[in-house]
Chain A
Amino acid sequence: MEAYIITLLTALIFLLLSALIANAIKFEGGSNPKDPQSRKTWFWILAILNPALAFLMGYFVFMPDANMMIVNNYVSALSMGTAIGFVLYILLGFILSKVFANGKIGHWF
């Protein structure tokens, strides 16, 4: 359960971070503004960092000090949670991007 909470929280924190970065990137003028691409790039960088960091934190920081069976179950849940966190990050990102299509986070998709 703990593994799922860690990975889901990490996904939400990364999504929040991505939204903050998107808003921090200024609107540019001119014929070829680079800001939409910057927001998209940052979204996908964090999308990749999210499972990596969630798994590494879960493995090295929050690993339970228990017998092999509990550890195996934990690692298995952590792997599953990491995958779910990755999908959740992208899914929530997609939904938010469509809900706020005219805003800065609309550039994610």
Chain B
Amino acid sequence: MDKLFVIAIGGTGMRCLESFTHLCGIGMFDNQEIEVLTLDTDQNNGNKGRVEELIGLYNRIKTSGTTLNGGTPNANTFFSAKLNLHRFWTNYAGAGRENYKNLSKISTGSPEQQKANKLISDLFLDTSSVQEFALDHGYRAQTHLGSMLMYHGIVEAARNLLKGSAVQSQERELDSFMGKLEKAGASARVFIFGSVFGGTGASAIPVIPKAMQDFVKIRSNGNASIDFSKAKFGSTLLTEYFTFNKPDAQQKSSKANSVIADSSFFPLNSQAALQFYQSDPTVQKCYKLLYHIGWPIESKKIDDNNTSNQTITGGSEQKNACHVTELLCACAAYDFFTRTNGFDGAKADYLYKAVEFKDNSFNFSFDDFIGKENKAGEIFVNKLGAFFSLAHISLTVNGAAFDDSGIKGFITRCEKQKLAQYSTITDAECKDINEYFKLFTYSFKDAKFVPGWLYQVRNSVAPGKFLFDSKAFPDNQAELRKLDVGTIFLDEKHHWSKGGIFGNRYDTFVEKLINTHPKEEQKVNTTKEKFLAHIFNALTISQNFDIN
């Protein structure tokens, strides 16, 4: 079994990683321990913070006891993969590191060196804008600068680690990730999330494999390397799918903001990037598979709530809603990690597929995400459906969204049915699970409905079909309380049984919960793992699936 690595780069990469984490949450990566690296220039980016918080929550749910170790891999249950998070960001915060001009020390050395430095910089990079904008909000669609600086950031970290002095925490985390990658050798599968139309992701995708190879070489003093003929690198080629406010002249008046990404150029950026990747020998040599993912209709605006006429360039405010293309990127990672062929070519292979487009909207079915091979589509239906049902049971039926007990309600129910084996699960552990469901599905903040990941993804497809019945997505308390959690599927054969004359669907589910138990092949050890596996089995039976 290959060792799996995921690298998320830039704001879009982080949102793809968010979708990937949710795929792990629903249990799509059984028996896997996955190394995750978040890579950004913007340490405080809202999307980055959100996904790191999500993975932290995931790991707390996986952990039992006081040591936060992220638990162990399981099978056929929720949260089955173990995720190890590593964070690296290029440091543009300190004095002399704010922009390209300062970072590259153009004005140091002998007069001749300074002249040569300036000439070569001016040749590639616009003097007053590109060389002087603030780098801490990313590369702002200046990919020629970004590729160079991302490579520099990674190589600089290797040099600092080799020297061993003033090593920063993010450099140690990168070292830990790279150490595992080096150790995995030819059995490493590395998948990279990022866009090709923006700044950081588009800058990094072409150079990351090479930068990693050089990191390993420098770190090992030339004794080790990454062999691109054996290592399996894959990536998304995610083209434009959103737009945002155009920056006004006032915002661009300062040096730090002299360059701001303009979303009207994203289609052009995408075309240029695709042409470049197609002809660049490094990209063609390093990558085995490239997944071409796009949104071939009008891009959605992501900052409707931003009334300031200013572009949000980055920072903690940049928390964009999730989009179905990001879920498709996560599904591309699933394909890359589970496929058994396609890694032998000398050049990168491009993969893509189409989705039904009717009445000016896309209609997504389960098979559009991870295909049909080896019952994959059916497994996806079952697991996503089970997790969505459980989220609704926790938030809606057991009231976690309205400050009631949520998942603790299940433990109470088990106790009421004289099943006391889960009573040791603490309130704090239940709260973590509830919080995850809120991020996955929905929550209320100051009585205002806040859509979670799945609602956001579904909203990006609306009015087209998206996997579940539209009735499964109510967005007000009155309709939520009326929701029948056993009828979320479009296909009625997956609805929970109604039971007898006096029964209802939730009753039949609880009866199945009482009569099932975790199985040995699910590899669950702790009480919490057994509890989640137990619920997973009851939901699977209720949904009329037999995949165990």
Chain A residues with a Cβ under 8 A of chain B: 20, 23-24, 26-27, 29-33, 36, 101-103, 106-107
Give CA–CA (A24, B393) in the complex, Å: 21
Chain B residues with a Cβ under 8 A of chain A: 393, 397-399, 404-405, 408-409, 412-413, 416-419, 500, 502-504, 506-507, 510-511, 514-515
Give CA–CA (A30, B416) in the complex, Å: 12
Whether B399 contacts A29 by the Cβ 8 Å rule is yes
Whether A33 contacts B507 by the Cβ 8 Å rule is no
Q: Determine which of B397, B418, B507 lies in contact with A102 in the assembled complex, contact meaning CB atoms within 8 Å.
A: B418
Closest 7 A/B residue pairs (Cβ): A31-B405, A24-B502, A29-B397, A29-B398, A27-B510, A102-B417, A101-B418
Shortest distance between the CB of B309 and any CB in chain A (Å): 46
Which secondary structure dominates chain B's binding surface? helix
Contacts of B398 in A (CB 8 A): 29-31
Give CA–CA (A99, B408) in the complex, Å: 26
Q: Determine which of B404, B405, B506 lies in contact with A27 in the assembled complex, contact meaning CB atoms within 8 Å.
A: B506
Give CA–CA (A102, B516) in the complex, Å: 12
Contacts of B515 in A (CB 8 A): 102
Across the two chains, which residue of chain A brings its CB closest to B415?
A36
Given known contacts A27-B510, A102-B418, A102-B514, A33 and B413 CB-to-CB distance under 8 angstroms = yes
Contacts of A102 in B (CB 8 A): 417-419, 514-515
Contacts of A36 in B (CB 8 A): 416
Give CA–CA (A32, B404) in the complex, Å: 9
Given known contacts A29-B409, A103-B417, A20 and B514 CB-to-CB distance under 8 angstroms = no
Ordered by A's residue number, 5 sampled pairs between the chains whose C-beta atoms are within 8 Å are A29-B397, A30-B397, A30-B405, A30-B412, A33-B409
Contacts of B416 in A (CB 8 A): 33, 36, 107
Whether A106 contacts B418 by the Cβ 8 Å rule is yes
Shortest distance between the CB of B313 and any CB in chain A (Å): 44
Whether B417 contacts A29 by the Cβ 8 Å rule is no
Whether A26 contacts B397 by the Cβ 8 Å rule is no
Whether B507 contacts A31 by the Cβ 8 Å rule is no
Contacts of A27 in B (CB 8 A): 413, 506-507, 510
Contacts of A26 in B (CB 8 A): 504, 506-507
Contacts of A29 in B (CB 8 A): 393, 397-399, 404, 409, 413, 506
Q: Determine which of B408, B417, B514 lies in contact with A31 in the assembled complex, contact meaning CB atoms within 8 Å.
A: B408
Shortest distance between the CB of B213 and any CB in chain A (Å): 54
Across the two chains, which residue of chain B brings its CB closest to A101?
B418
Whether B506 contacts A31 by the Cβ 8 Å rule is no
Shortest distance between the CB of B401 and any CB in chain A (Å): 12
Contacts of B510 in A (CB 8 A): 27
Whether B417 contacts A20 by the Cβ 8 Å rule is no
Contacts of B417 in A (CB 8 A): 102-103, 106
Contacts of A24 in B (CB 8 A): 502
Across the two chains, which residue of chain B brings its CB closest to A20?
B502
Give CA–CA (A107, B500) in the complex, Å: 20
Give CA–CA (A24, B500) in the complex, Å: 9
Contacts of B506 in A (CB 8 A): 26-27, 29
Question: Which residue, B393, B502, B503, B511, has most C-beta atoms of chain A within 10 A?
Answer: B502
Known pairs A29-B413, A31-B399. 15 more at Cβ < 8 A? Answer: A29-B398, A30-B397, A30-B404, A31-B398, A31-B405, A31-B412, A32-B412, A33-B412, A36-B416, A102-B418, A102-B515, A103-B417, A103-B511, A106-B417, A107-B416
Given known contacts A102-B417, A102-B419, A30 and B399 CB-to-CB distance under 8 angstroms = yes
Give CA–CA (A57, B70) in the complex, Å: 67
Give CA–CA (A107, B405) in the complex, Å: 21
Give CA–CA (A24, B417) in the complex, Å: 16
Contacts of A107 in B (CB 8 A): 416
Shortest distance between the CB of B421 and any CB in chain A (Å): 12
Across the two chains, which residue of chain B brings its CB closest to A103?
B514
Shortest distance between the CB of B422 and any CB in chain A (Å): 13
Shortest distance between the CB of A56 and any CB in chain B (Å): 28
Contacts of B502 in A (CB 8 A): 20, 23-24
Shortest distance between the CB of A25 and any CB in chain B (Å): 8
Question: Which residue, B397, B408, B417, B503, has most C-beta atoms of chain A within 10 A?
Answer: B417
Shortest distance between the CB of A27 and any CB in chain B (Å): 4
Contacts of B393 in A (CB 8 A): 29
Give CA–CA (A105, B135) in the complex, Å: 67
Give CA–CA (A23, B500) in the complex, Å: 10
Give CA–CA (A31, B394) in the complex, Å: 11
Shortest distance between the CB of A97 and any CB in chain B (Å): 10
Contacts of B514 in A (CB 8 A): 102-103
Shortest distance between the CB of B402 and any CB in chain A (Å): 9
Shortest distance between the CB of A47 and any CB in chain B (Å): 21
Give CA–CA (A31, B510) in the complex, Å: 15
Shortest distance between the CB of B403 and any CB in chain A (Å): 10
Across the two chains, which residue of chain B brings its CB closest to A36?
B416
Across the two chains, which residue of chain B brings its CB closest to A31?
B405
Shortest distance between the CB of B284 and any CB in chain A (Å): 55
Contacts of A30 in B (CB 8 A): 397-399, 404-405, 409, 412
Contacts of B419 in A (CB 8 A): 102
Contacts of A23 in B (CB 8 A): 500, 502-503
Question: Which residue, A26, A27, A32, has most C-beta atoms of chain B within 10 A?
Answer: A27
Across the two chains, which residue of chain B brings its CB closest to A22?
B502
Contacts of A32 in B (CB 8 A): 412
Contacts of B500 in A (CB 8 A): 23
Shortest distance between the CB of A39 and any CB in chain B (Å): 10
Give CA–CA (A14, B511) in the complex, Å: 24
Shortest distance between the CB of B537 and any CB in chain A (Å): 16
Across the two chains, which residue of chain A brings its CB closest to B506?
A27
Shortest distance between the CB of A99 and any CB in chain B (Å): 12
Question: Which residue, A30, A103, A107, has most C-beta atoms of chain B within 10 A?
Answer: A30
